[in-house]
Amino acid sequence: MTQTTRPVPQADDPAAPLGVPAILLALTMLFIPLVISSRISGWSADYGPLLYVVLILYLAAALRLLCWGVAVRKR
């Protein structure tokens, strides 16, 4: 029977203190588009499909930051 081992948390990880601020920043970044959602239609008329590309990239960056913060926090 093979026993799986979990990696030992690294107490001296230099990125460990950045986990919580990263999570808070990512949640704030994900909340902002909800607050400004009424303006998006006007901006869409001005900038066209470029706005949606930028919005998707922005949300992807916020989600990646959230994932990174949670992963650092779990270590």
As given in the structure block, the two tokens for residue 22 are 């990263």
Tell me whether residue 7 is in a domain.
no
Residue 43 is predicted with a pLDDT of 94
- CA neighbor of 74 nearest in space, from 56, 36, 66: 66
Query: Is 23 domain-assigned?
Result: yes
Q: Give the domain range for residue 70.
A: 16-74
Mean pLDDT for each consecutive 10-residue tract of the chain (75 residues)?
62 82 96 94 94 96 96 87
46 occurs within a structural domain:
yes
Domain membership of residue 6 (yes or no) is no
Predicted confidence at residue 75, as pLDDT, reads 77
pTM for the whole thing? 0.78
Let me know if residue 4 belongs to a domain: no
Alpha-carbon distance 50 to 53, whole Å? 5
Give how many domains the chain has, as a whole number. Answer: 1
Residue 15 makes CB contacts below 8 A (sequence gap 6+) with 72
Residue 2 belongs to some domain of the structure: no
